[in-house]
């Protein structure tokens, strides 16, 4: 039995991708991106996505990436794909023969997170330059696949000494009974994580940054992961089980849903 590939609409600088365009990510893959879920032509935390793209572009290529222009490109690609709900990625590249950043926008069907509890396998790997979200990270993909082959949902990246940093495609948070704890370690500051951190600060249960080790996982009552698709509880890291805390997940869901959306 075979299945068809999901529909994928790709535009470069506001026009449908050509074969020549697609050589850019294939052969000049040095770049950065952000991923978002669009619902009814709105994005939760859009300003954070635009700021991420601009900051990464300045660091990698020495030039800004105008947020207003990116917003227009996202809207144009949604129109071209005929979608109001979608999974969208915006990539920035600077090919050797170009003087300005090339912006690639991809649009495909939306992803609806179901909140199924996740299992994580710890691996001895930490991304270089982790604060920049970028495509084609070999170690990240390699260890993610290794985790899946071992029967886990995702890899949990750790630095020397067993310090927890982030998931292979997520941020991870823990619950100690009083506060949400984010690992105090080099990692990508995901948009969903940032929205939760900001939202929790307005409640009576603010989040904190603290070093988290594999050896110390037993001190936490619950764990969860976040990315552009949403939030999911963690029920196991290696051999350490975590109960699903319904009250915690309800709090996180409420804080996340309260985050405003912006039109694209």
β-pair type (118-123, 230-237): parallel
The pTM of this model reads 0.94
Residue 71 falls inside a structural domain: yes
- CB count within 10 Å of CB 228 equals 23
The structural domain count of the chain equals 2
Residue 189 falls inside a structural domain: yes
Question: Residue 128: its pLDDT value, please?
Answer: 92
252 and 184 part of one domain: yes
Report pLDDT digits (tens) over 31-46.
Answer: 999 999 999 999 999 9
Identify the CATH number of the domain in which residue 255 sits. 3.20.10.10
236 and 188 part of one domain: yes
Question: Residue 2: its pLDDT value, please?
Answer: 35
Contacts of 118 (CB under 8 A, 6+ apart): 153, 154, 225, 232, 233, 234, 235
Can you tell me the distance from the alpha carbon of 126 to that of 131, in angstroms, rounded to the nearest whole number?
Answer: 11
Residue 195 falls inside a structural domain: yes
Give me the residue label for tokens 């904190």.
208
Can you tell me the distance from the alpha carbon of 107 to that of 28, in angstroms, rounded to the nearest whole number?
Answer: 21
Range of the domain at 70: 8-108
70 and 153 part of one domain: no
Residue 93 buriedness (CB in 10 A; 0-12 / 13-18 / 19+): buried
Contacts of 110 (CB under 8 A, 6+ apart): 37, 38, 39, 83, 85, 86, 87
How sure is the predictor about 7, in pLDDT bands with cuts at 50, 70 and 90?
confident
99 and 216 part of one domain: no
Residue 3 falls inside a structural domain: no
What the block records as the tokens of 49 is 């996505």
């Amino acid at each position: 039995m075979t299945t068809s590939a999901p529909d994928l609409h790709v535009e470069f600088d506001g026009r449908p991708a050509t074969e020549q365009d697609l050589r850019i990510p294939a052969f000049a893959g040095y770049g950065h991106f952000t991923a978002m879920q669009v619902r009814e032509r709105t994005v939760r935390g859009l300003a954070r996505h635009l700021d991420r793209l601009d900051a990464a572009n300045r660091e990698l290529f020495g030039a800004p990436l105008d947020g207003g222009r990116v917003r227009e490109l996202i809207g144009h690609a949604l129109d071209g794909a005929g979608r109001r709900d979608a999974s969208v990625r915006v990539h920035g590249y600077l090919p050797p023969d170009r003087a300005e950043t090339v912006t690639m926008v991809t649009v495909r069907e939306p992803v609806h997170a179901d909140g199924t509890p996740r299992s994580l396998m710890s691996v001895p790997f930490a991304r270089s330059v982790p604060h920049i979200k970028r495509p084609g990270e070999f170690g990240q993909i390699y260890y993610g696949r290794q985790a899946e082959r071992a029967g886990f949902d995702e890899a949990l990246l750790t630095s020397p000494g067993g310090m927890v940093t982030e998931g292979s495609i997520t941020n991870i948070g823990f619950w100690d009974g009083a506060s949400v704890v984010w690992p105090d370690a080099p990692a990508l500051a995901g948009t969903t994580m940032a929205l939760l951190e900001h939202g929790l600060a307005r409640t009576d249960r603010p989040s904190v940054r603290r070093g988290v080790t594999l050896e110390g996982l037993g001190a936490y009552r619950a764990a969860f992961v976040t990315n552009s698709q949403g939030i999911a509880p963690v029920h196991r890291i290696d051999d350490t089980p975590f109960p699903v805390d319904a009250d915690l997940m309800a709090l996180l869901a409420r804080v996340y849903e309260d985050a405003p959306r912006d039109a694209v």
